[in-house]
Structure 1
Amino acid sequence: MASTSVSRVVQASPERVWQLVGGFHALPDWLPYIPQSTPREGGRVRRLRNSDGGTIVERMVEFNDQERHYSYAIVEAPFPVSGYLATLRVYAVRGEEGAAEVVWSGRFTPEGASEAEVVDLFTGIFSDGLDALDEAVAR
């Protein structure tokens, strides 16, 4: 099993950041390459459409509003992995009221690609996503 984790400090309170990212179907609000999220199964599954028109289906595995994190598994996607489980967390930054640390991490088993290729793929996705979040918070 492989894993990766990316973190970023953004200049907004943890509450404000969580308000933006904490909704399981909120990706289109801050992630430009996911313009659509369609809820399924009472909202526990999201069918995402990416900017290329591709589809990704993800299932919420855990959600904790008070601790500001959720985890999800990929059900269907064009990625060369199985057993994908990722978590998005928002932390307070000690001593900085107007800052939050956001950590996006995932673990998965590569299939049809090397571990390094798949780690690079998801590290890039998480990093680009957190860059987009930083921009969205600044607006």
Structure 2
Amino acid sequence: MSRNKIIPYRKDLKILARKLRKNSTLSEILLWSDLRQKQILGFQFHRQVPMLDYIVDFYCHELHLAIEIDGESHSNEAIADNDEIRQKRLEEKGIHFLRFDDLEVKQNREVIINDIISWIEQNHNLA
């Protein structure tokens, strides 16, 4: 797999991704602030990235790493099932996932960032 392999996506998702960036949740804003400022271990993340038929919250092309923040709505069984299907389809394309709870991001961002750093240190050769 090439280092910056582009995953194809539906072109109409680009407009939706732009809207989502403008209307981010508080936890997305908080985590984005950390990801953007720290350029974690030299890797650059992007937010609201279209892939296939989906949009992931944050994505690092070099690591093939998607980071998702699951809010209250993700406790809904139908949404959780859709998340699982979506994640499996993207994993088939070589994407790795880290998922964090919305409340966890709001209360423990330092722990979240440390978890992301740990994942990168342990897995960056897999991308």
Q: Do these two structures clear the TM 0.5 threshold for a shared fold by scoring above it?
A: no
More strand by share: 1
Give the number of the structure whose alpha-carbon radius of gyration is greater: 1
More helix by share: 2
Higher relative contact order, chain-length normalized (CA < 8 Å, sep 6+): 1
TM score, norm. by length of structure 2: 0.37
